[in-house]
């Protein structure tokens, strides 16, 4: 299941979507709105998405993950719009025969999504300021690299 | 030729619109297109420098040629998850 | 929450138990009864536990994890008795400020639990045979090591 | 002195009981206790060799002294998870 939604993410549904008798392990990652970043307080987040491209990019990442690990089932759900404190902005679930692969694949999918998938976060700080998050500290891969990540895509 | 460029996040808010229209020469490549947008919208120039461009929902290189009818978007550094 | 139970594990309850506004990431690991191990078919598993020691050992592991990573909340639930195909035998949930720590701590807790906590699995194979699983391929840590794992215990 | 040793999993099934009673000398250490159980229950000797012993719910070493009233268990290689 790949889904971009403006509704609350039902994390148990995401976990259930990767159920398989062939799997011995499932890992569910849930990203939630954190109240503090250092000493700055967040009151809510808002996510915006280039939906058609995001869905295609996520599908490419899932395809690559399935070529790198022996995955039974895999789901990625991202929420857009306002996300309140403690609510889930993202849920990634992976089931595999053995646990090492579930952990690795789920962590990799989240890492890559944060680099490659056109979704943006707006911080609403407690002091009333707002800020679109467009990270520039870490160099992001050049567009060329993005299309030639190992395994194709 | 006329092209349309989708804007998102800070780029969209800076211009109060989700789409720009731009007149570019035939054979124009992404690098040139970015410079032209930067010239027309200097408020975005810093962000444009740090942004990627997608053509038909794939990341393009600086040398990718922009064609009429392409689905074009300016992709500021992403922050999903 | 640390729990040994002979009832079905409610995985969403386990995930909810680590909810925190201070957490930006939660990882839930679920171990399930896998139908095939190589070409051998399992029809069910049965788990047995030295409960008082298991609970103490799990608590020690959680304490160590909390000293190694910046954990907001942490839960470990293990089922005992018969566990049917596809059902959960274990659920481990960890919430942290940032995702790397959730993944690492959850994986570490599962790894250590499988080495140190007195719980045993009985395989019921499709050919009618049964087998208590007492691994001997990999050398297990000596009892001395078990009590002096980094961070104490 | 009399001690009781909890048995689990294959050890429990081999003996159809979850607890053995054993008479050991005062000052007996874990290594000796394991050998005495092995002598009395040769069907378990291979498994005992691969098993740990816990005293009061902590893993003991070969040289740990077994005391009267200790909660003692034979811990075959574990396989939870």
pLDDT of residue C150: 41
Q: Is residue B30's pLDDT more than 70?
A: yes
CA distance A111 to chain C (A): 9
Q: Is residue A138's pLDDT more than 50?
A: no
ipTM for the predicted complex:
0.92
pLDDT of residue A38: 84
Give the angle subtended at the CA of A17 by the CAs of A12 and A19, to the nearest 5°: 100
Span B23-30, average pLDDT? 97
Q: Is residue A151's pLDDT more than 80?
A: no
Domain count, chain D: 1
List, for residues A29-55, the tens digit of each pLDDT value: 999 999 988 889 999 999 999 999 999
What is C2-132's CATH number?
3.90.1170.40
pLDDT of residue C151: 38
Confidence of residue A144 (pLDDT cuts 50, 70, 90): very low
Decide if B8 is inside a domain.
yes
Tokens found for residue B7: 């804007």
Domain of residue B9, residue span: 2-75
The answer to whether the beta carbons of residues A46 and A105 sit under 8 Å apart is: no
Partners of C19 on chain A (C-beta within 8 Å) are: 32, 86
Chain C meets chain D (3+ C-beta pairs below 8 A): yes
Span C29-34, average pLDDT? 95
Which CATH number do you get for residue D16? 3.10.20.30
Q: Is residue C140's pLDDT more than 90?
A: no
Q: Is residue A149's pLDDT more than 50?
A: no
Residue A49 DSSP SS3: strand
* Residue of C54, C133, C146 with shortest CB distance to D79: C133
**Sign (positive or negative) of CA dihedral C85, C87, C91, C95:** positive
Tokens found for residue A66: 């399935």
Q: Interface of chain D against chain C, CB under 8 Å?
A: 6, 8-10, 12-13, 47, 50, 52-54, 57-62, 73, 75-81
Neighbouring CB atoms inside 10 A of C66's CB total: 16
Q: How far is CA A107 from CA B19, B23, B58, C22, C106, in A?
A: 34, 43, 23, 20, 12
List, for residues C37-50, the tens digit of each pLDDT value: 888 999 999 999 99
Report the share of chain C in percent with pLDDT over 90.
83
Decide if B35 is inside a domain.
yes
Residues 48-107 of C with CB under 8 A from D: 48-50, 52-54, 56-57, 78, 89-90
CA distance C114 to chain A (A): 12
Tokens found for residue C46: 């049965």
Q: Find the length of chain C.
A: 153
Span D29-46, average pLDDT? 97
Alpha carbon of residue A63 to chain centroid: 15
Decide if B80 is inside a domain.
no
Span C53-81, average pLDDT? 98
Partners of C23 on chain A (C-beta within 8 Å) are: 32, 34
List, for residues A90-130, the tens digit of each pLDDT value: 999 999 999 999 999 999 999 999 999 999 999 999 999 99
pLDDT of residue A37: 84
- CA atoms of C99 and A110, how far apart (whole Å): 9
The answer to whether the beta carbons of residues A113 and A75 sit under 8 Å apart is: no
Exposure class string for C7-23: b at 16+ Cβ within 10 A, else e: eebebbebbbbbebbbb
pLDDT of residue C148: 44
């Amino acid at each position: 299941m790949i889904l971009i939604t403006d509704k609350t993410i039902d994390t148990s549904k995401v976990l259930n979507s990767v159920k398989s008798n062939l799997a011995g392990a499932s890992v569910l990652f849930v990203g939630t709105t954190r109240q503090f970043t250092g000493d700055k307080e967040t009151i809510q987040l808002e996510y915006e998405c280039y939906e058609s491209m995001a869905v295609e990019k996520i599908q490419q990442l899932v395809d690559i993950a399935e070529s790198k690990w022996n995955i039974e089932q895999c789901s990625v759900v991202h929420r857009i719009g306002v996300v309140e404190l403690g609510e889930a902005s993202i849920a990634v679930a992976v089931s595999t025969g053995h646990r090492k692969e579930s952990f690795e694949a789920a962590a990799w999918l989240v890492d890559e999504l944060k680099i490659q998938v056109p979704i943006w976060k707006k911080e609403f700080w407690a002091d009333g300021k707002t800020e679109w998050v467009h990270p520039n500290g870490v160099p992001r891969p050049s567009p060329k690299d993005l299309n030639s990540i190992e395994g194709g895509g | 030729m006329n092209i349309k460029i989708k804007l998102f996040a800070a780029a969209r808010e800076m211009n109060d619109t989700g789409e720009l229209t731009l007149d570019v020469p035939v054979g124009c490549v992404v690098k040139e297109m970015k410079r032209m947008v930067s010239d027309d919208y200097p408020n975005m120039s810093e962000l444009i420098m740090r942004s990627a461009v997608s053509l038909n929902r794939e990341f393009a290189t600086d040398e990718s040629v922009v064609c009429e009818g392409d689905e074009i978007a300016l992709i500021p550094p992403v922050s999903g998850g």
